[in-house]
Structure 1
Amino acid sequence: MRKETKVIRIGNKAIGGGNPILIQSMTNTKTEDIAATIEQINKLEAAGCDIIRCAVPTLEAAEAIKEIKKSIHIPLVADIHFDYRLAIAAIENGADKVRINPGNIGGTEKLKAVVDAAKLKNIPIRVGVNSGSLEKELVEKYGGVTPEGLVESALDKVHAIEAMGYDNLVISIKSSDVLMCIKAHELIADKSSYPLHVGITESGTLLSGNIKSAVGLGVMLYEGIGDTIRVSLTGDPVEEVKSAKLILKALGLRKGGVELVSCPTCGRTQIDLIGLAGQVEAMIQEFDLDIKVAVMGCAVNGPGEAKEADIGIAGGRGEGILIKKGKVIKKVPEDKLLETLREELLAMKAAL
């Protein structure tokens, strides 16, 4: 069951309060390069990104937000480190939310200036705390970086902003340590009703990052914790969005899009199953069908193993079969399997 959290609006989207869990990513272009940033954001939106974050390290980047916003359709979050003036400039130029770490923004007066600017535009502040920047006194208090220290740090900052008369907040507490991240979120979910932005930060490359993110996010989301997620990967941000969609679908938290199932290779396999599965995975991206597609390597066991799939293909020596709900529909030459499957998907799409 989802933890009950407050509803927070970010541009034309809403998180918390039982709203669908939204997917975020972050551009890796120079935000000052308006054309490149717009191009990447639109690619991410097409892949399924709901909210996009952009780094704002300079005044030029903050001012670029105004132009970027004219050509995108999803909310834009300005990511600020250290300089409170950049947060204010980003807000003035139309950012739908700002991400700050109040601990490194420059003191109470500067934090209040950011809060006042956000209050004027009524945009949320994401209070971000990272295990790599936990305050020295909390490290000493807890004998190191701990989940308890992360939670205390985040809540201290939240209370400071609340004392300034503002509660349009989202909380983010991140660590590259999966178990620490899970524990910290379990603790804060019981202590706060603000929406939580969850993810495993600095999780790694496409392989290791996906595994850590799937494990960490899977546990937290299964426990009902999290209102918006980011899969942080060292790679193309589009891959972050693809992974986030799969994690949500695997947990039954998002519908739509084709789900691919494929069998592991074994000694019975007589086709290039790995290559075929990869081709199918790429091909199905163009279909917004809420179905399951199977790619099986054995024409003998394939129909039975794929009976829970809506449609599938299985290969043998030089030929393959088209399967629907576990029943063989027809045989086709091996080199026509992909084409046959695509034709069937097009027919299913046209029938909607």
Structure 2
Amino acid sequence: MASKRQIKVGGVPIGGGAPVAVQSMTKTETADVEATLAQIQRIADAGADLVRVAVPRDKDVQALRELVRRSPIPIVADIHFNHTLALKAIDAGAHCVRINPGNIGGRDKLGEVVEKARAAGVPMRIGVNSGSLPKHLHELERENPVEALVRAAVEAVELVESLDFHDFKVSVKSTSVPDTIAANRLLAERIDYPLHIGITEAGTKWSGSIRSAVGLGTLLADGIGDTIRISLSTFHAEEEVKVAWEILRALKLRARGPVLIACPTCGRLQFDMDTVVAEIEERLQHYTEPIEVAVLGCAVNGLGEAAHADFGITGARNEGLIFAHGKPLRKVPQERLVDELFRVIDASLAAGRTVFDEREAAEGAAWLRKIEEENAGDLTPERLAALEAAAAAEQALAEATPLPVAGQTAAQPRRIEVGSGERDAVPARERVAGRRFARVRE
């Protein structure tokens, strides 16, 4: 359901099979050129492909020309209510203008914007929000908010198409995650233009990130969405970009910078993992290479669970192990674990291959074997699965075998031929159901 059409915003392709573009929006007063440029630079450094700026006044339009000239990424001018600001924004060099058909002022004024955009070769974004639908759709909105959103977008698309303009992308947004998902799914079936997706007014950095991940992640997994913006209630717009990239990385749609994975910890944890993970996450922000780094709290299970990671660490007692692709590289004291990890990462990136010392790797492997032997009785995931499977089989057999009646002799074991698909029958015994396993009491 990915869009078939493609537009270009300042050279950035949107739709038509292009990578999902990441954008954010400045939080500064647009007329404050230096403050806005500083934030745009931070947004770009975080990995944004595009940035949107609000243009509510003439003084913002005046600043826009300088912003466009000095910005490291294309700028989208965000216009509401006053169509003349859209005209001026195009003259100022905006790479794209975003308008809301519900408040731009009717067909004639929209036609002026379309003609100006066509002449300048500037694409548009038709943005429909649940909070600003056209008046004639308000009753439908109360009955069916999803259909109202989609109908507003389709009507706007048809209006712009009637003006023989096709260089645009479309968005339908709501504060409701389910409504946003449903509306974009319907819209993707009805139009083939690029879709910009987002949850409007998503919330704080914590709650907004989760709601955006659920909504946008669902759509992107369906193949819907050509450009995304995470809307968070924070002045630090670069945080929106970081969340967007995490979503894209999680779905393996784009790769940029390191991916950090960490286990949820359990009773086998033997080092201060919270502190270690926080430090590694902070230091990885300065890397742009698409490497995967794992932090595992259990030396017994760690290497197997993170065999796919480029680099990783795990710990036990006062020592830790650095590994790569599931192979031990070096055993180090826990207080040096993070520093040594980054020494290995830096050396390997510089060499273009995993750098290790054979003697240190052998020592690390020997240490790991020792830890495994000492923890041989622990319930690893593999042992746990085997025990649960055996318990389930015994429970099924117990239910199929009647308990002996008082005064009768219990049936003797019955030998089953190997390969018959059955297991040895056992005398009926009293069974006590446990939380995980069936315990047998003779």
Identify the TM-score tier after normalising by the shorter chain.
over 0.9
Measured on the aligned residues, the alpha-carbon RMSD in Å equals: 1.4
**Which residue is equivalent to 2:341?**
341
Deviations 1:241-272 (A, max 9, x none): 11111111111211242111101122222322
SS in 2 for 1:187: helix
What does residue 260 of structure 1 align with?
260
CA deviations on 1:267-316 (whole Å, 9 max, x unpaired) are 22232211211111111122222221101122333222222211101123
Measure, in 2, the Cα distance between the counterparts of 1:256 and 1:29: 27
CA distance in 1, matches of 2:60, 2:276: 43
Look up the match of 2:272: 272
Post-superposition shift, 1:329?
1.7
Residues 1:101 and 2:100 aligned together: yes
Please state how far the C-alpha of 1:26 moved relative to its aligned partner. Answer: 0.4
In structure 1, distance between residues paired with 2:141 and 2:305: 51
Please state how far the C-alpha of 1:73 moved relative to its aligned partner.
2.1
Count of aligned pairs between the two proteins: 351
Map of 2:39 onto structure 1: 40
1:286 aligns with 2:286: yes
Report the Cα distance in structure 2 between the residues aligned to 1:142 and 1:231, rounded to whole angstroms: 24
Stretch moving more, 160-169 or 221-230:
160-169
Bigger shift: residues 307-316 or 194-203: 307-316
Letter in structure 2 aligned against 1:263? C
Aligned-residue sequence identity (percent) comes to 47
The one-letter amino acid of 1:74's match is I
Letter in 2 for 1:343: R
* 4+ long deviations beyond 4 Å: none
| Counterpart position of 1:301 | 301
CA displacement 1:309-352 (0-9 Å, x = unmatched)? 11101123332111112222221122211111111121122123
Are 2:98 and 2:125, in contact at CA under 8 Å, matched by a contact in 1?
yes
Q: Which deviates the most, 284-293 or 116-125?
A: 284-293
SS in 1 for 2:143: coil
1:70, distance to aligned residue in structure 2 (A): 2.1
1:1-352 correspondence runs (5 A): 2-141=1-140, 143-144=142-143, 146-235=145-234, 236-352=236-352
- 38-47 or 293-302: which moved more? 293-302
2:404 corresponds to: none
Tell me, in whole angstroms, the C-alpha distance in 1 between the residues paired with 2:33 and 2:186: 40
Post-superposition shift, 1:86? 1.1
TM (normalized to structure 1)? 0.96
Q: Kindly name which structure, 1 or 2, has the bigger radius of gyration based on alpha carbons.
A: 2
Amino acid at match of 1:138: L
Q: Deviations over 1:7-47 (max 9, x none)?
A: 10101211111011100100101111111111111111111
Q: What SS class does the counterpart of residue 332 from structure 2 fall into?
A: strand
8 A Cα contact 1:134 1:145, kept in partner: no
Matched letter for residue 121 of structure 1: A
Within 2, Cα distance between the matches of 1:56 and 1:284?
36
Contact 2:21 2:50 in 1 (8 A): yes
Q: Is the 8 A contact 1:287 1:349 kept in 2?
A: no
Q: Which amino acid aligns with 2:134?
A: E
My pick for the range that moved more, 30-39 or 160-169, is 160-169
